[in-house]
Structures are given as structure tokens and as C-alpha cells.
Amino acid sequence: MNSYLITSVITSIVMLLFNAVGLWSAASAVMDDPIAFGTYFTASIVYLPALWVMTGLALLLVGFAPRFTSLSWLYLVYSFVVVYLGGLLKFPEWLTKITPFGYVPNVPIEEMSTLPLISLTIIAIVLISIGFVSYRKRDLYG
């Protein structure tokens, strides 16, 4: 399970970095006065704690209730629909706040608030820790 967690954390960092580089390079190619790379980097990297919460949820389900592990995918689909299509479909704001992505600040439109990011990181650490402890207590036969 350690290898899956390490792979997930490294992949999330690398993919968000690629996201920032891709958006910045595309904008630099077409804009006369492009936005600084740091803005794209910050706007991408604020999603890390929310991704880690999703990873923590999956690890929690694997460790604590392996039969319900597929629910993490259902929750991911729910998060996508509510966060990205919620404004278009006129969903209430509280539906967005059920997902970890509902607490990510809209950088650079909003001010960068570190409290939600720290809170999400702590939640992710707690979920991952409970998942590992639960996984170690399971009866696994090789």
C-alpha cells in the first residue's frame, strides 16, 4: 500500500506541474502580455490537498472497508459533476462544500487562503493514517 500512496502523491504533484507548464506555454504562445508562470503554478498547486483527500479516502476504504472501495470513484464523479457543472446546472453551494474541491481557492480570482489548504492536508493525513492502520489490522493471507 505504501507504493500506491507514494505513486499517487508523486503523480499528483507531477501532473499539476504539467498542468501549470501546459497552460503557461499555451498562454505565452498566443498572448501579447502573458501571465507569469508563478500565477499558473499557484493556481494549479492549490489542488494538491484536495487530491490528497481523495487519495486518503481511497486508502481509508481499502483499509477499513475493502468491499466499498469503488465508492471512492463514485465520490470522484460526484465531485466532478458538482464542482465543474454545478454553476451551469444551478446546484446549491452546499453541494460543492461536500467535496474537498469545494474548498480550493480560485486563484488568481480570489485571495490565496491557506487555512482551507492546511485543513484539507490535515484531513488527508488523518484519512491516510486510518487507512494504513486499518489495512495492517486486516486478516490478509498471502
Q: What is the pLDDT of residue 66?
A: 87
pLDDT at 16: 96
For residues 39 and 98, give the distance between their C-alpha atoms in angstroms, rounded to a whole number. 27
Four-residue CA torsion sign, 49, 53, 59, 60: positive
Q: Which residues of the chain have pLDDT under 70?
A: 139-142
SS3 119: helix
Mean pLDDT estimate for the chain:
92
Query: What whole-number distance in Å separates Cα of residue 114 and Cα of residue 19?
Result: 21
CB 108 within 8 A of CB 41: no
Total length of the chain: 142
pLDDT of 57 reads 95
pLDDT in tens, 63-98: 988 899 999 999 999 999 998 898 888 899 899 999
What DSSP character marks residue 102?
A: G
